[in-house]
Amino acid sequence: MSEIAQKVKSIIIDKLGVEESEVTTEASFTNDLGADSLDTVELIMEFEKEFNISIPDDQAENIATVGQAISYLEENVK
Amino acid sequence: MELKRVVVTGIGALTPLGNNKNDYWDALAKGVSGAAPITRFDAEKFRTKFACEVKNFDPLQFLDRKEARKMDPNAQYGMVAGDEAIVDSGMDLEKINKDRVGVIWGSGIGGFTTFQDEVMNFANGDGSPRFNPFFVPKMILDITPGLLSIKYGFRGPNFATVSACASSNNALTDALNYIRLGKANVILTGGSEAAVNESGIGGFNAMKALSERNDSPETASRPYDKDRDGFVLGEGAGALVLEELEHAKARGAKIYAEVLGAGMSADAHHITAPHPEGDGIVLVMNEALSDANIDPTAVDYVNTHGTSTPLGDSGEVKAIQKVFGDHAYNINISSTKSMTGHLLGAAGAVESIASLMALERGIIPPTINHFTDDPDIDPKLNLTFNEAQKREVNVVMSNTFGFGGHNTSIVFGKYNG
């Protein structure tokens, strides 16, 4: 697992209060990990803070699963 | 229409003296001070460096981590005290009609620490607005009744009351009146406050409202003492289950007391200073007695607002003498703020719970820290100094007043069928 993937997973575990085993690549924040709309916004903000980037709203809307977050960040974090 | 009778069937308390009702009552009876140096932040540069904090409180003992993280301490305190009251009431949540159960909750300020921290975070940034999405729901003070309704599924009347330090007495008063009018069978009511932070201490210090007796925090809250120099900030929550009498009887509930009546008034005088003649608080006590439909001579104990400020304390005592006349000498009077500090919007709830102890256990909680008589206070009055007194108690009155000139007074009586 990449360093980015590890950090993403630990943020999700922390913010959503879920178990590590639940945080699979396919897991959806809202459908599988119990996030509501505010949790999702907070997650994106945490990713921005952790990786020191800005994720535009139209891009953020496409980040709905653990895998989508990891691939977006792996592509965009320098 | 005939008003319904209302009784207290559940109690919960999270206070600087104890983290549940029984620990709180035991500490009140012993005359313990809840004051100590501030641990929440570095108070070195503040004029006041002590407070009555809630101690050894771990929200994760009561709430799951994800829930707790989204709540200001103000709401966490309310959830914990509220839960204790619901459990204490013995209500079967599967059987009661939850559409007829409300939550009416008071707080003077709300999520103060959340507000402070988010604004400081913004101020320390580069001007980009990076506010947490939970900022607003954590901050607003009505989130506590909202959260309690979500937890238990209570769909009856649900809102918060705000009248500074009178807030939770206003919540109790509203709960009483809504049940009297048949708008709900049960209302979980009370209040919470969590203002021990830089803004809270700094703000009240700027008003010269707080005691600055840093060399002796535990004797700083000394209502009616000649050398009182301001109030001691407290925090925590108190919760009461108010219930329509027949509803309580039908389910065989333990009845602590009947809520006989409540009064409300305004000083219409000054934003923070009490009225010099105490007109507003004479009015509120008379309103409460009239609403309770009792003679002043029926009252055995008055739990005062008594914050330990120079002007407020003597004014309230004089008002009590105006309302009760010679009977004032027969009454036990005490300020439990001498022990708990001033819980602001939660004061009314925790002091009603102290008053209920007097009814339940026949023990008047004391006004501790009395050293020197104030020549401005009639020495013939029984201010229950320093030690609890045993007494058969049938009727108690609990007063709280708030910045803005809001006055409230509630009367509880022993339930005799």
A-chain residue closest to B128, CA distance: A54
Asked whether the beta carbons of B113 and B77 are under 8 A apart, the reply is no
Q: Using CA atoms, how far apart are residues B417 and B391, in angstroms rounded to an integer?
A: 21
pLDDT at residue A78 in the model: 79
B304 and B336 assigned to the same domain:
yes
With CB atoms and an 8 Å threshold, state whether A38 touches B133: yes
Residue B354: closest CA among B339, B336, B377, B376: B336
Direct distance between the N- and C-terminal alpha carbons of chain B, in angstroms, rounded to an integer: 21
Residue of A nearest to B137 (CA): A38
How many angstroms separate the CA atoms of B237 and B82, rounded? 8
Which own/partner contact pairs does B70-73 have at CB distance under 8 Å and 24+ positions apart?
A: B70/B134, B70/B137, B70/B138, B71/B138, B71/B143, B71/B147, B72/B110, B72/B111, B72/B112, B72/B113, B72/B114, B72/B138, B72/B139, B72/B143, B72/B194, B73/B113, B73/B194, B73/B235
Same domain membership, residue B223 and residue B107? yes
Question: How far off is chain B from A53, nearest CA to CA, in Å?
Answer: 13
Alpha carbons B80 and B70: distance in angstroms, whole number? 15
Following CA atoms B346, B350, B353, B354 in sequence, which dihedral angle do they give, to the nearest 10 degrees?
Answer: -150
Question: Percent helix, strand, coil in chain A (nearest 5)?
Answer: 60, 5, 35
The two structure tokens encoding residue B153:
């599924």
First to last CA, chain A: 18
Nearest CA in chain A to B63: A17
DSSP state of A52: T
Residue B256 counted as domain residue:
no
Residues 8-27 of A with CB under 8 A from B: 15-17
Q: For each of chain A's 78 residues, which pLDDT tens digit applies?
A: 799 999 999 999 999 999 999 999 999 999 999 999 999 999 999 999 999 999 999 999 999 999 999 999 999 997
- In this structure, the answer to whether residues B86 and B156 fall within a common structural domain is yes
Same-domain status, B193 and B222:
yes
Which residue, B250, B275, B302, sits at the end of a domain? B250
B125 and B268 assigned to the same domain: no
Contact between chains at A17 and B132 (C-beta distance less than 8 A): no
- Cβ of B69 within 8 Å of Cβ of A38? The answer is no
A45 touches B: beta carbon within 8 Å: yes
Q: Tell me which chain B residues have a C-beta less than 8 angstroms from the C-beta of A39.
A: 133
Judge: A17–B64 Cβ closer than 8 Å, yes or no. Answer: yes
Q: Chain A contact for B254, CB < 8 A?
A: no
Tell me how long chain A is: 78
Report the pLDDT value the prediction gives residue A55, as an integer from 0 to 100.
94
Q: What angle do CA B33, B38, B44 make, to 5 degrees?
A: 135
Query: Strand B332-334 and strand B301-303: pairing?
Result: parallel
Check if the beta carbon of residue B51 is closer than 8 Å to that of residue B198: no
Q: Both tokens of residue B385?
A: 């100094």
Q: Which of B202, B230, B250 is the last residue of a domain?
A: B250
Question: Is B220 in the same domain as B85?
Answer: yes
Nearest by CB to residue B66, choosing from A16, A41, A48, is A16
- Check whether residue B246 and residue B283 sit in a common domain: no
Domain of residue B63 covers 7-250
What string of DSSP letters covers B1-59? -PPPPEEEEEEEEEBTTBSSHHHHHHHHHHT----EE--SS--TTSS--EEB---S--G
CB contact under 8 A, A42 and B134: yes
Q: Is the CB of B69 less than 8 angstroms away from the CB of A17?
A: yes
- CB distance from B124 to chain A under 8 Å? no
Q: How many domains does chain B have?
A: 2
Residues B166 and B192 in one domain: yes
User: Measured between CA atoms, how close is A71 to chain B, in angstroms?
Assistant: 24
Q: Please, what's the largest Cα pairwise distance for chain A?
A: 30
Q: Which tens digit of pLDDT belongs to each residue from B174-185?
A: 999 999 999 999
Distance from CA of B127 to the nearest CA of A (A): 14
Low-confidence ranges of chain B (pLDDT < 50): none
The chain B residue lying nearest A38, using CA atoms, is: B133
Select which of B165, B241, B248, B354 is catalytic. B165
Q: Indicate whether B195 and B125 sit together in one domain.
A: yes
Cβ distance B132 to A42 less than 8 Å, yes or no, reads yes
pLDDT recorded at residue B398: 98
Query: Is A38 an interface residue toward B (CB < 8 Å)?
Result: yes
Phi-psi region of B208 (alpha: psi -120 to 50; beta: other; left: phi over 0): left
**Which has the closest alpha carbon to B270: B258, B259, B279, B261?**
B279
Q: Is residue B234 part of a domain?
A: yes
Give the CATH number for residue B288: 3.40.47.10
A36 is an active site residue: yes
Whether residue A57 lies within 8 A of chain B, CB to CB, comes out as: no
Q: Give Cα B293 to chain centroid, integer Å.
A: 24
Residues B120 and B140 in one domain: yes
Among candidate residues B198, B223, B250, the one where a domain is terminated:
B250
| CA pair distance B332, B124, nearest whole angstrom | 52
For chain A, say whether B64 makes contact (Cβ under 8 Å): yes
CB B210 within 8 A of CB B309: no
| Torsion angle in degrees (nearest 10) through CA of B331, B288, B338, B27 | 80
Range of the domain at A54: 3-76
Residue closest to B344 by CA, chosen among B168, B158, B131: B168
Domain count, chain A: 1
Q: What CATH code is carried by the domain that includes residue A65?
A: 1.10.1200.10
Of B233, B228, B229, whose CA–CA distance to B193 is shortest? Answer: B233
CA–CA gap between residue B330 and residue B26 (Å, rounded): 25
Q: Which residues pair with B399 in a beta bridge?
A: B409
Q: What are the distances in angstroms from CA B184 to CA B89, B152, B175?
A: 16, 15, 9
CA distance A15 to chain B (A): 7
> What is the C-alpha separation between B396 and B331, in angstroms, rounded?
10
Residue B277, pLDDT score? 85
Residue of chain B minimizing CA distance to A33: B66
Q: Are A16 and A6 in contact (CB under 8 A)?
A: no
Give contacts of B 293-312 with A, CB under 8 A. Answer: none
* Nearest neighbour of A38 by CB, restricted to B65, B130, B134: B134
Shared domain for B190 and B303, answered yes or no, is: no
User: Are residues B362 and B316 part of one domain?
Assistant: yes
Identified catalytic residue from A36, A39, A57, A58 = A36
- Chain A CB contacts of B133 under 8 Å are 38-39, 41-42, 45
CB atoms within 10 A of CB B314: 19
Contacts of B404 (CB under 8 A, 6+ apart): B163, B164, B266, B271
Q: What is the pTM of this model?
A: 0.95
Q: Can you tell me the distance from the alpha carbon of B361 to that of B25, in angstroms, rounded to the nearest whole number?
A: 9
Structural domain includes residue B129: yes
Q: Which residue of A has its CA nearest to B132?
A: A42
Contact list, A16 vs chain B (CB under 8 Å): 66
Residue B120 CA to residue B113 CA, distance in Å, equals 10
Asked if B129 reaches chain A (Cβ–Cβ under 8 Å), the answer is no
